[in-house]
Amino acid sequence: MLKYQQTATEIEAYIEQHTLQQGDKLPVLDQLIRQFEVSKTTMTKALELLERKGIIFQVRGSGIFVRKTNRKGYIELFSTQGFKQNLVAHDIQSNVLSFELIACPEAIAENLGTAPGDMVYFVKRIRYIDGNIMCLEESYYRQAIVPYLNREIVEQSIFEYLETALGLNIGFSDMYMHVGKLPETIAEHLELEAGDPALTVETIFHLTNGRPFDYSVITYHYEHSQFVVQANGLYL
Amino acid sequence: MLKYQQTATEIEAYIEQHTLQQGDKLPVLDQLIRQFEVSKTTMTKALELLERKGIIFQVRGSGIFVRKTNRKGYIELFSTQGFKQNLVAHDIQSNVLSFELIACPEAIAENLGTAPGDMVYFVKRIRYIDGNIMCLEESYYRQAIVPYLNREIVEQSIFEYLETALGLNIGFSDMYMHVGKLPETIAEHLELEAGDPALTVETIFHLTNGRPFDYSVITYHYEHSQFVVQANGLYL
């Protein structure tokens, strides 16, 4: 973690500890610099990062303010960090339905930018949030990039393993979302009825070098999942 | 528009004109600087902006590459720019069902951070994408910030009017999404059946100074809307 990222994390902790609310003002720049004992450059980068993450907003000539949703129970949609790291306030459990090393089916290969027949780890899990079924997840990991997975790992946080044990640098992702009616096969897993509403999110995860390594299809339980996105319109 | 934003727009146009695809390499930094006749600082900021927008990715020591989804017909979910500006490739039409100046209901006032009874413009529209019903939109604009609206404006792009005619600086937004079953009243407007799947997106739009000015609830037609998000995991 770089210095400015660490400073950003500390400021986030400060906001939490002081239970600051939407619109609350943070100390002025000079005071923040003294308080967190960093250079002006580091603090400026830390604040930019927090602004992009939707934690603060800065008003020229007026100050630095807290952004905070006042609604509870929403999942942050927007992350390539995987659920576990993204839902720290929740209890996330997984029930692994399938775990196997298979030859990549053609439709999946296209999404992963690889050749059909390349070996991929296929992981099918039910994921629970605070004891409720949150989603069914089917993921395909390219073995060329993820040389080893086992059942113990996929019962926990796969992304944490990829980053810490394998040292992969996870870069960016393309997400495709649509809403539709649950097919019988998936409804069963979610303990819902065929025809019930479903949000399906397909994601292609890339390393920082641009190589796709994971294609995942998640179908959410509509009663146990709702999402929040804190967006910056101008992309700063 | 600032210089680096203009340069970013020009590079986007360059990518379009040359029909570059996902993973295609852009010229190296020095060449881009010469080609677009800008300073290194401007080019660096332009590239950062494009990276945040999910248009390119940069690999240290390797180069600058194009990000581009190869799927057609997806709506970019992630924007505070309003549909019209966000869907330039599509024909967007509106049918205004209601347009009135009303005293703000309590539930809406809470979202807008204002007092119940404050005056708000209420706009209810069906929005069409390429001739199909895309969504039902119900929006509340604070008159204290948006002093004037009329039916002609709400038949077009409201956000364009707010930015260009009123000179408002639209800053950031909080989006809340959930999936559920369509109630009868909304199903009728969408020409769907009660109980059909629906994606509902509530958004609170803020000015750059942090003041909420618009609360909108959009219910999407599940057969005529699907979404793409090009995400940066590390928030750069």
Closest Cβ opposite residue B235 in set A49, A181, A208: A49
Which among A43, A66, A89 is the end of a domain? A66
- Is pLDDT of A44 > 80? yes
Q: How far apart are CA A75 and CA A79, in angstroms?
A: 10
User: A189 at the B interface (CB within 8 A)?
Assistant: no
Residues near B217 by beta carbon (within 8 Å), at least 6 away in sequence: B137, B138, B139, B200, B201, B202
Whether A148 has its CB under 8 Å from any CB of chain B: the answer is no
B124 phi, psi to nearest 5 deg = -120, 120
B23 touches chain A (CB under 8 A): yes
Does B233 fall in a domain? no
Same domain, B61 and B127: no
Asked which of A31, A66, A101 is the last residue of a domain, the reply is A66
Residues A42 and A94 in one domain: no
CB B104 within 8 A of CB B118: yes
Residues in chain B: 236
On whether the CB atoms of residues B215 and B202 are closer than 8 A, the answer is yes
Statement: residue A154 has pLDDT above 80? yes
Q: Which residues of chain B have pLDDT under 50?
A: 234-236
Q: Please determine, for residue A236, whether its predicted confidence score (pLDDT) is greater than 50.
A: no
Flag whether B235 is in a domain.
Answer: no
Q: Which of B67, B79, B173, B175 to mutate to test the interface with A (most CBs of A within 10 A)?
A: B175
Give residues 83 to 142 of A whose Cβ lies within 8 Å of B: 113
> By CB neighbour count within 10 A (0-12 exposed, 13-18 middle, 19+ buried), where does A17 fall?
exposed
Q: Please, which pLDDT band fits residue A233 given cuts at 50, 70 and 90? A: low
- Domain membership of residue A234 (yes or no) is no
CATH number of the domain where residue A224 is located: 3.40.1410.10
Are B93 and B14 found together in one domain? no
pLDDT of A87 reads 59
The string of pLDDT tens digits covering residues A115-141 is 999 999 999 999 998 899 999 999 999
The residue segments making up the domain with residue A23 are 3-66
User: Chain A residue with minimal CA distance to B221?
Assistant: A179
Q: Are B59 and B89 within one domain?
A: no
In a domain, A161, yes or no: yes
For B225, the token pair is: 């809307």
Is the domain of A126 the same as that of A162? yes
Which chain B residues have a beta carbon less than 8 Å from that of A199? 179, 199
* Same domain for B150 and B39: no
Structural domain ending residue among the three candidates B16, B34, B66:
B66
Tokens of B149: 């609206």
The count of structural domains within chain A is 2
Q: How many residues does chain A have?
A: 236
H or E segment to which residue B225 belongs? none
Query: Is B13 within a domain?
Result: yes
